[in-house]
Chain A
């Protein structure tokens, strides 16, 4: 797989995510991300690879506005996030679906409630989405577990529930942090196909993963993050359907 530095890529006004010379550090610690410049075109599909501690989760956090850069500019949907204050940040977050590495399911809510959460927060009427949520949960294989509380779900079920919550409001950007870490190979492929399906429906997808086999077989481009620097890896072979 060939590596192409992408630090000098041109600024495309249509990009849904745009980083310009972005660096990030935690507190007074060393920079975990250094001078990153890249963009994600609408409807694109990328993996994000790199060794543990390379900063993959930190990069995703910058995109879903859970962290702020120590330097540089980030644009989401053409909007400078540094200037997005008040209700602008929650509105941006509603356009981004995230599968968190530690899933962050709410233990006091049923699977159905967890999946419906983004729609409730968006202020939609339950009548409007009840059927859609049930259909989505059935689609991810949780049709018989809608009433179950997360602590009673198996690892793979929790993962699929987290994915359902991330995609339920049809986000324009879908970020997933190691979404296949707790599932077997078969389930990993099912989850991957789910992301592909959402990508076909128009979502821009970025998946952070250690699963090099999945990346290689997917035939999708990947960003490789190492020592705070980002390279774009060209896809190998045809895309996995």
Chain B
């Protein structure tokens, strides 16, 4: 005797069969890709912060090498240079470095010379620039010229360009890796959609021939894969947050190293990952499904 079926309690079955084994593989692959994408994002943010820190420090510092005029002591030349530059707009602080600092700088070339004080070693003046509106090398040079001081200004422009270029490359590489991973995730979803449609060809055919529109059928696959990849994105992002937290906690107060200072706020960057993964999957599944359904006709 068959069990009693009550139409009033009937709930429509899903149009597509429940999740298949291949969906599990897809979740795994996309979770790994999402993890890599999130770690890339965290790495780019940390590298960007490090680059900004370095370039900020370099941009706010300048060093002036002062050569004394005949009859003038190096120390008085350095003091006059400091005084001349202190009045320049965009200079926050000027400090003539102690002679020992200058001796230390020439010691690698001269060795331990007993009467180093007798040598005409130029003095150094450290200039701390205003971060908001730093004085330019030309302005400093003009101030020195006005005061009649012979000096060479090193405003670290060369280093600054290198650091900024390196930071830009790190950002660019990060974005490229991120796009490649997103593309790989999209391709994996497209492949899974193709396999899913092939496996469900009978279902698609019946839906089609009973009057379902192409977009309706594509939407079934779109939602299915968007849901699966959102879960994968959640797993990947969760893994990346854990890995980032480990780097932050065990990497010292500034993260893994001062060269890659991971901040807690960087971990927030992974939060859109499930949504982005679902969006990529939805687009890939929809485009693939529509194309395959149209090929069936």
A interface residues (Cβ-Cβ under 8 A, vs B):
64-66, 68, 87, 90-91, 93-94, 98, 100, 104-106, 108-110, 112-113, 116-118, 120-122, 126, 130-131, 133-134, 144-148, 165
- Cβ–Cβ contact B211 & A112, under 8 A: no
Identify A122's interface contact among B7, B202, B206, B211, CB under 8 A: B211
Q: For the complex, is B8 an interface residue (Cβ under 8 Å from A)? A: yes
Known: A90-B213, A98-B209, A147-B5. A108 touches B12 (CB 8 A): no
A2 to B245, CA, bound (A): 88
Known: A106-B203, A112-B5. A66 touches B12 (CB 8 A): no
| Residue numbers in A under 8 Å from B203 (CB-CB) | 106, 108
- Cβ–Cβ contact A91 & B2, under 8 A: no
- Cβ–Cβ contact B7 & A121, under 8 A: no
A sample of 25 inter-chain contacts (CB < 8 A) reads A87-B213, A90-B213, A90-B214, A93-B208, A93-B210, A93-B211, A106-B203, A108-B13, A108-B17, A108-B203, A112-B5, A117-B206, A117-B207, A117-B210, A118-B211, A121-B207, A121-B211, A121-B216, A131-B7, A134-B5, A144-B2, A145-B2, A147-B2, A148-B2, A165-B210
Output the nearest chain B residue to A129 by Cβ-Cβ distance.
B7
- Cβ–Cβ contact B209 & A66, under 8 A: yes
The smallest beta-carbon distance between B194 and chain A, in angstroms, is 20
A66 to B297, CA, bound (A): 6
Q: For the complex, is B72 an interface residue (Cβ under 8 Å from A)? A: no
Known: A106-B202, A121-B216. A130 touches B10 (CB 8 A): yes
A87 to B212, CA, bound (A): 9
| Residue numbers in A under 8 Å from B210 (CB-CB) | 93-94, 117-118, 121, 165
Q: For the complex, is B205 an interface residue (Cβ under 8 Å from A)? A: yes
How many A-B pairs have beta carbons closer than 8 Å: the answer is 70
Interface membership of chain B positions 1-40, coded 1 if the CB is closer than 8 angstroms to chain A and 0 otherwise: 0110101101011100110000000000000000000000
A148 to B5, CA, bound (A): 9
A190 to B17, CA, bound (A): 33
| Residue numbers in B under 8 Å from A126 (CB-CB) | 10, 12
- Cβ–Cβ contact A134 & B7, under 8 A: yes
- Cβ–Cβ contact A146 & B7, under 8 A: yes
Chain B interface helix/strand/loop/mixed: loop
The smallest beta-carbon distance between A127 and chain B, in angstroms, is 10
Give how many B residues have a beta carbon under 8 Å from the other chain's beta carbons: 25
A144 to B2, CA, bound (A): 6
Residues of chain B from 203 to 261 with CB closer than 8 A to chain A in the complex: 203, 205-214, 216
| Residue numbers in A under 8 Å from B13 (CB-CB) | 108-110, 113
In the A-B complex, list the 3 residue pairs whose CB atoms are closest, starting with the nearest.
A94-B211, A146-B5, A108-B17
| Residue numbers in B under 8 Å from A113 (CB-CB) | 12-13
A91 to B213, CA, bound (A): 9
**Considering residues A65, A68, A110, A146, which has the most beta carbons from chain B within 10 angstroms of its beta carbon?**
A146
A113 to B11, CA, bound (A): 9
- Cβ–Cβ contact A64 & B12, under 8 A: no
- Cβ–Cβ contact A64 & B209, under 8 A: yes
- Cβ–Cβ contact B2 & A108, under 8 A: no
The smallest beta-carbon distance between B5 and chain A, in angstroms, is 4
| Residue numbers in B under 8 Å from A94 (CB-CB) | 210-211
Identify B205's interface contact among A104, A110, A148, CB under 8 A: A104
Output the nearest chain B residue to A102 by Cβ-Cβ distance.
B202
A116 to B203, CA, bound (A): 15
A188 to B207, CA, bound (A): 27
Known: A104-B202, A117-B206, A126-B12. A133 touches B7 (CB 8 A): yes
| Residue numbers in A under 8 Å from B10 (CB-CB) | 112, 126, 130
